[in-house]
Amino acid sequence: MKLITIIIQILILHIFLYLGAGIKHFIHIPVPASMIGLILLFAALMLKIIKLEWIEKGGNWLLAELLLFFIPSAVGIVNYDEILSLQGIKALLLIGVSTFIVMGATAFTAEKISNKKRSEAS
């Protein structure tokens, strides 16, 4: 039953992605469809059109498995050896620095949210 709940919640999240894609297609704005979908999801949550409980477990599962979504793109760059041979050091440095920044920002955000939840629970 838990698996079915997670699948349904992920499907709800995908509905917002597809709504964002539809809006992007019809309005032709230079914003990624996923961002439009996230804005719609945020608005639906704030306006209490949907409840957090309806998507929480699915969202947590996606966050837990997020690394798996990045592996194909990281492995795919190996196919472009001419880029790596010409700009390899610069690319590796850029990847390292950007990874460090993203990890730091993620840790900072997660800690702030965790502290806020702890203070609200007390």
- Domain residue limits, the chain: 1-64, 69-122
The pLDDT tens digits of the residues spanning 49-73 come to 999 999 999 988 888 887 777 666 6
Output the pTM of the full model: 0.58
Whether 16 and 33 have beta carbons less than 8 Å apart is answered as no
Quote the pLDDT of residue 23. 94
The pLDDT tens digits of the residues spanning 83-93 come to 667 677 787 78
Whether 26 and 18 have beta carbons less than 8 Å apart is answered as no
Tokens standing for residue 80: 């472009």
